[in-house]
Amino acid sequence: MTRIKGLSLFSNVGVAEAYLESIGVDIVVANELVKERAEFYQHLYPKTEMICGDITSDEIRAKIVEKSISKGVDFILATPPCQGMSRHGKRDPNDERNYLIIYAVDVIKKIKPKFILLENVTKILVTKITVNDITMHIPDYLIQELGNDYIIYDDNIFNAEDYGVPQSRSRCIIRMVRKDLKIIWARPEIQEKITLKDAIGHLPSLDPLIREKNMRDFFPEYEIKKEQGLKVSKWHYPPTHSWNHVLWMTNTPSGKTAFYNDVYYPQKKDGTRIIGRLSCYRRYSWDKPANTITQNNGVISSACCVHPGREIKTPDGKTLYSDARVLTIYELLIVTSLPTDWNIPDWADERLIRNVIGEGIPPLMIKAIVSKLINEISKGV
């Protein structure tokens, strides 16, 4: 098998890299700003040299470049933070994180790798930055800085749901190949979509843990369901929610938001109806891939993140809906296309795990895209 050596910039905990080694890409150097994420990454990839620090620091950047050159890096995976551009963020054009691309480009120009994969939200295509008093779109900046040496593909909108991932997540993935190599990096073939029913429909139902109430008063089978879930995985355990959120979602059908409910709608303590985005307090649909998993995937009031649920008929003829909760970590692994035996460190808490999964790139999509490159390289070997 053809093997290439890679550098991961803005690496998070290495979600994107989950399958790269299996297809011939060895990430030998990685850089992450946040210490606990760098330690998480090192736990998952002990053979990778992790450089924890701020890429805007000349000293850190020099270390990244020196280590990468010494280890023969010929592939760079760069995934700058997207909060300044994401529709789930503030979309501040002056967000400092929008300018991190400049430091990634500096590293690229010094290492001169053969191949580059740059990932971000689709808004990167219309986001402007000002460099040397000249304002331009980020893609134009890339062409200005790297276009002489690299083929920069412009068919760069990909959706994870097209590549074996049960999640709809549109991303901008810019592929670059050094011009002296004469290698074509084609798009991978689109695969059949996987629905949530296909992906997690077989898993046992779970009742949520309620902060303020006695569980047995509302979910008499809570303990039994919990035990059944833990038999599947230690990560398939009941999330914890407030009673009001659980009540509203118990009355919300699959694919709908609690804002549509006639009685049990989101409301303040005085009964006043809460006004918010219709993507909030919303259940996933069984017959589609999941909506984009966000960093706040553990909060019912966040953008669509509630289990699809199933109809329950009560003795008095009412219709309620099961699983009034967010997805478990085990379900998130499946929906993100991570291995269900992903080697999560014991010290990582739920907040951290949910955050890094929500910020991660579905690795099966990255595998599909990079596999096309590896196959092309192999033809010339």
pLDDT tens digits, one per residue of 348-369: 999 999 999 999 999 999 999 9
Give the pLDDT band of residue 93 (cuts 50, 70, 90): low
Instruction: Count the Cβ atoms, other than its own, within 10 Å of residue 175.
Output: 22
Is the confidence at residue 91, as pLDDT, over 50?
Answer: no
Average pLDDT over residues 208-217: 83
3-state helix, strand, coil in the chain (%, to 5): 35, 20, 45
Is the confidence at residue 83, as pLDDT, over 60?
Answer: no
Average pLDDT over residues 201-219: 89
Location of structure tokens 């509203």: 248
Is the confidence at residue 103, as pLDDT, over 90?
Answer: yes
Instruction: Count the Cβ atoms, other than its own, within 10 Å of residue 258.
Output: 26
Q: How far is CA 119 from CA 64, 77, 78, 124, 259, in A?
A: 19, 8, 6, 9, 34
**How far apart are the C-alpha atoms of 353 and 351, rounded to whole Å?**
6
Query: pLDDT value at position 95?
Result: 59
Location of structure tokens 């809460």: 274
Q: Which residues of 37-72 are buried (b: 16+ CB within 10 A; e: fewer)?
A: bbbbbbbbbeebbbbbbebeeeebbebbbebbeebe
What angle is formed at CA 10 by the lines to CA 8 and CA 15, rounded to 5 degrees? Answer: 70
The burial of 242, by beta-carbon neighbours within 10 Å (0-12 exposed, 13-18 middle, 19 or more buried), is given as middle
Query: pLDDT value at position 81?
Result: 83
pLDDT digits (tens, 9 = 90+) for 155-167: 999 999 999 999 9
Is the confidence at residue 96, as pLDDT, over 80?
Answer: no
Average pLDDT over residues 21-38: 98
- 82, 280, 304, 305: which one is catalytic? 82
Average pLDDT over residues 71-84: 86
Location of structure tokens 């009560």: 314
Give yes or no for a contact between 128 and 138, defined as CB atoms under 8 angstroms apart.
yes
**How far apart are the C-alpha atoms of 120 and 118, rounded to whole Å?**
7
pTM, full prediction: 0.94
The burial of 83, by beta-carbon neighbours within 10 Å (0-12 exposed, 13-18 middle, 19 or more buried), is given as middle
State what percent of residues in the chain have pLDDT above 90: 89
The verdict on whether 82 is a catalytic residue reads: yes
> According to CATH, where is 3.40.50.150 located in the chain?
4-193+351-379
Query: pLDDT value at position 98?
Result: 86
Return left, alpha or beta for 91; rule: phi > 0 is left, psi -120 to 50 is alpha, else beta: left
Q: Which residues of 205-238 are buried (b: 16+ CB within 10 A; e: fewer)?
A: ebbbbbeeeebeebbeebeebbeebbeebebbbb
pLDDT digits (tens, 9 = 90+) for 254-291: 999 999 999 999 999 999 999 999 999 999 999 999 99
Give yes or no for a contact between 156 and 344, defined as CB atoms under 8 angstroms apart.
no
Write down the mean pLDDT value for the chain.
Answer: 94
Phi, psi (degrees; rounded to nearest 5) at 96: -60, -30
Nearest CA-CA partner of 43 in 298, 353, 296 = 353
**How far apart are the C-alpha atoms of 50 and 32, rounded to whole Å?**
8
Is the confidence at residue 339, as pLDDT, over 70?
Answer: yes
For 88-147, give the DSSP string. Answer: TS---TT-GGGGHHHHHHHHHHHH--SEEEEEE-GGGGG-EEEETTEEEEHHHHHHHHHT
Report helix angle 138-146 to 100-111, nearest 10. 20
Collapse the DSSP code of 226 into the 3-class scheme (helix H, G, I; strand E, B; otherwise coil) and give the result. Answer: helix
Beta-bridged to residue 116, according to DSSP, are: 76, 176
CATH number 3.40.50.720 is the correct assignment for the domain at 4-193+351-379: no
Query: pLDDT value at position 214?
Result: 76
Query: pLDDT value at position 87?
Result: 47
